[in-house]
Amino acid sequence: MGEKVVLEALGVSKFFYARTKKDGKRQVVKAVDNVSFKVRENETFSLVGESGCGKSTTGRTVMRLLEPTEGKVLFMGENIMDRKGASLKQLRRQMQMIFQDPYSSLNPRKAIGRIIEEPLEIHHIGNASERREMAISALKQVGLREDQFYRYPHEFSGGQKQRIGIARALILEPKILVCDEPVSALDVSIQSQVLNLLQEIKDSSGVSLLFISHNMSVIRYISDRVGVMYLGRIVEECETARLFRRPGHPYTKALLSAVPEPSPNLRTERVELQGEVPSPLDPPSGCAFHNRCAYATPLCSAKIPERQEVETEHYVECHYAKELLRVSQQSHVLAQPAVMGRR
Amino acid sequence: MAPLLRVDGLRTEFRTLRGSVTAVDGVSFEVEAGQMFGLVGESGCGKSVTSQSIMRLYDEKKLARHSGKAILDGEDLLSVSQKRMRQIRGRDISMIFQDALSSLNPVFTIGWQIQEALKMHQKLGKRESRERAIEMLRLTGIPSPDKRVDCYPHELSGGMRQRAMIAMALVCTPKLLIADEPTTALDVTIQAQIMEMIVDLKDRLNMGVLLITHDLGVVAQTCSRVVVMYLGQVVEEGDSCDIFDNPRHPYTIGLLRSVPSVSTKKGDPLPVIQGSVPPLDKAGAGCRFADRCPLADEGCKIEPPALVDLGGGQKARCRKLDLTGG
């Protein structure tokens, strides 16, 4: 992992305007609200959160698939907000994306070889035979065979389709790969194959990953650093091992404790979380988490907490982050062997 | 004590354009009252077909053919008439599904839908049955149930809809609840709430629960007994503790290892099961897992393995069990 920052988001916000209320006011959905993070060279930075927390929107916004309402995005230290036309296209070459649903992200009417070649055509790289060569080597790199070049997407299983998506993204040798829930649609045994492939590619090519997922155990395995999102904000950002060992934000704690461990002897000490994520159309005042938080005080509903660095490179958006971190020093360990009816 | 549900040699064949396919092949297990029983496997392993066969939900004239037995309280569900089955469904045995939105009728209020089962099975007055519906909503943890009872499904969030569906399933206090991936579409924090509620209601109503899921974590945390399925067959069965701590079938072992857990070191490659689940009609004559199994030899591809009793209630379908002992 290098120190060089490949992608940096600075106070990025993305608001959507929903239907007009009866009084004529526009309703605003703050899908992404003042989000900042860095992805370093050959690093995996993950965004984790429940549905509707804005993790995918963040991914799309930093790739400029969506235009941010506020803030800016730096790629290799350069502001990319005013890139357009040919220069934006040049940029896209270095930022590629893979999607959750391998079924709908491949054109059913094209042979997979053509699908993988297409990015090269778009960017006018090589001649026809060179492109074919490159596509074949990409195909092999993701664990498929050369003779599958002329097959169509429907002839492949979900895991194989995801591999095709990865080959298509990698053929341009991007600097950063945004993976939006790349294994969520796959069965467990296939999931681990695809995760291994992504890890292998990262190690061999030096690409950086912006990994978006709701699955905590996948996140724990693949990421170097994690940003936890709740209602459009990154409420905690930290190096992975430390986040799982000593979460600072009450929401992270609750989220971690809700993950069922695949072993009956490891009972997770549940942090009860009441209710559900509030509607982003009408988020609570102050700290968006305060109405579900066990530690909330009147201050929390009055004032939006600022992002503070509680330890080096460990950021938490909570008024009581430092105090809570001291408390969580020993408590909440994910794997606490409970004395259980073992025969 | 006789078990609540005894499934014995259940076999479900589907007639398709390309000949018949056996989706469930000789599945047997027993669920006791008050027990949480897990049926685990990846997509296409036949876990949902098993449950829907027990419920007799397939078109038996055109599509499906069952054999074997599914005995609920002394009565074989596979041989009773559809008319009798309609009396049993919703009263003795209920089912909840993964996608609550498409399982609820969008044009009726949830209160109406909960009362529908009462109308079918119990003679209750209007007011009484409405009270019952409200009571059920309260029991499933829906806030202000007296207002929610008049809501339509689209007015509720995903977690609330799942709760409403559970209320619907449990309104006649069935003996057996079949939960087919009840939390797969939900976020983890909501999943935890719903699972906790199902466990709580199971204890209160002394109901047997057949939980069908692909999520090993959920099974480990809630079920006392587990069956693992692969390509229509039971490959391993046992108490949760044994299955998770000392799995014996290579598929179970592979499946458990491939989930990244606390003990997985970052950077190390995850253990994988090679290849992918083959289509049902391509399964070989021998062990169905042989093509993906690290232990398989030529014999495994020819000779179908039997379900071997390992003692302590654990069984596994494998010829190489001497190599997987722990």
B320 vs B237: CA distance, rounded Å: 16
Choosing among B161, B162, B186, B188, which should be mutated to test the A contact, i.e. which has the most A CBs within 10 A? B188
> Residue B276: its pLDDT value, please?
84
> Residue A268: its pLDDT value, please?
65
Burial bucket for residue B202 (CB in 10 Å: 0-12, 13-18, 19+) = buried
HSE value, Cβ hemisphere, 13 Å, CA-based, for B42: 24
- Find the farthest-apart pair of alpha carbons in chain A and give their distance in angstroms, rounded: 68
In this complex, the residue of B191, B219, B258 whose CB is nearest that of residue A258 is B191
> Residue A259: its pLDDT value, please?
87
Chain-centre distance for alpha carbon A287: 22
Asked if the C-beta of B245 comes within 8 angstroms of chain A's C-beta atoms, the answer is yes
Hey, which residues 49-108 in chain B have their CB within 8 Å of chain A? none
Q: Is residue A337 part of a domain?
A: no
> Residue A332: its pLDDT value, please?
46
With beta carbons under 8 A apart, name residues in chain A contacting B271: 192
CB pair distance less than 8 Å for B216 and A188: yes
Q: Is the pLDDT of residue A274 over 80?
A: no
Q: Is the pLDDT of residue A278 over 70?
A: yes
Q: Is the pLDDT of residue A97 over 80?
A: yes
A126-131 average pLDDT score: 95
Least CA distance to A193: which residue of chain B?
Answer: B272
> Residue A343: its pLDDT value, please?
27
Least CA distance to B240: which residue of chain A?
Answer: A264
Give the total number of structural domains in chain A: 1
Asked if the C-beta of A12 comes within 8 angstroms of chain B's C-beta atoms, the answer is no
Asked if the C-beta of B294 comes within 8 angstroms of chain A's C-beta atoms, the answer is no
Least CA distance to B262: which residue of chain A?
Answer: A335
Q: Is residue A67 part of a domain?
A: yes
To the nearest whole Å, the CA of B141 is away from the closest chain A CA by 10
> Residue A340: its pLDDT value, please?
32
B241 vs A246: CA distance, rounded Å: 28
> Residue A27: its pLDDT value, please?
82
> Residue B260: its pLDDT value, please?
83
Q: Is residue A152 part of a domain?
A: no
User: Residues A130-167: pLDDT tens digits?
Assistant: 999 999 999 999 999 999 999 999 999 889 999 999 99
Hey, which residues 183-222 in chain A have their CB within 8 Å of chain B? 187-193, 195-196, 199-200, 214, 216-218, 220-221
Query: Tokens for A293?
Result: 């938080």
Domain that holds residue A197: 5-94+174-246
Q: Is residue A83 part of a domain?
A: yes
SS3 labels along chain B: CCCCEEEEEEEEEEEECCEEEEEEEEEEEEECCCCEEEEECCCCCCHHHHHHHHCCCCCCCCCEEEEEEEEECCEECCCCCHHHHHHHECCCEEEECCCHHHHCCCCCCHHHHHHHHHHHHCCCCHHHHHHHHHHHHHHCCCCCHHHHCCCCHHHCCHHHHHHHHHHHHHCCCCCEEEEECCCCCCCHHHHHHHHHHHHHHHHHHCCEEEEEECCHHHHHHHCCEEEEEECCEEEEEEEHHHHHHCCCCHHHHHHHHCCCCCCCCCCCCCCCCCCCCCCHHHCCCCCCCHHHCCCCCHHHHHCCCCEEECCCCCEEECCCHHHHCC
Q: Which stretch of A14-23, A128-137, B139-148, B267-276 has the lowest confidence by average pLDDT?
A: A14-23
Tell me what percent of the residues of chain B surpass a pLDDT of 70. 99
B111 vs B172: CA distance, rounded Å: 14
In this complex, the residue of A200, A214, A343 whose CB is nearest that of residue B241 is A343
Of B141, B208, B136, B137, residue with least CA distance to B179: B208
* DSSP reduced 3-state for A240: helix
Higher pLDDT, A18 or B196: B196
**In CATH, what number is assigned to the domain containing residue A232?**
3.40.50.300
To the nearest whole Å, the CA of A84 is away from the closest chain B CA by 37
Least CA distance to B222: which residue of chain A?
Answer: A264
In this complex, the residue of B43, B263, B271 whose CB is nearest that of residue A187 is B43
Asked if the C-beta of A342 comes within 8 angstroms of chain B's C-beta atoms, the answer is yes
Q: Which stretch of A295-299, B250-254, B261-265 has the lowest confidence by average pLDDT?
A: B261-265
B46 vs B88: CA distance, rounded Å: 23
Average pLDDT, whole number, for chain B? 92
Q: Is residue A25 part of a domain?
A: yes
CB pair distance less than 8 Å for A188 and B42: yes
CB pair distance less than 8 Å for B188 and A277: no
What is the DSSP pairing of strand B5-16 with strand B19-31?
antiparallel
Asked if the C-beta of B282 comes within 8 angstroms of chain A's C-beta atoms, the answer is no
Q: Is residue A212 part of a domain?
A: yes
Q: Is residue A229 part of a domain?
A: yes
Choosing among A42, A219, A221, which should be mutated to test the B contact, i.e. which has the most B CBs within 10 A? A221
Question: A328 falls in which pLDDT band (50, 70, 90)?
Answer: low
CB pair distance less than 8 Å for A199 and B269: yes
Asked if the C-beta of B244 comes within 8 angstroms of chain A's C-beta atoms, the answer is yes
CB pair distance less than 8 Å for A199 and B42: no
Q: Token pair 């907000």 is at which residue?
A: A81
To the nearest whole Å, the CA of A272 is away from the closest chain B CA by 8
Q: Is the pLDDT of residue B255 over 60?
A: yes
Choosing among B253, B259, B293, which should be mutated to test the A contact, i.e. which has the most A CBs within 10 A? B259
Question: B92 falls in which pLDDT band (50, 70, 90)?
Answer: very high
> Residue B176: its pLDDT value, please?
97
User: Residues A227-264: pLDDT tens digits?
Assistant: 999 999 999 999 999 999 889 999 999 999 888 888 88
Q: Is residue A328 part of a domain?
A: no
Does ipTM come in above 0.90?
A: no
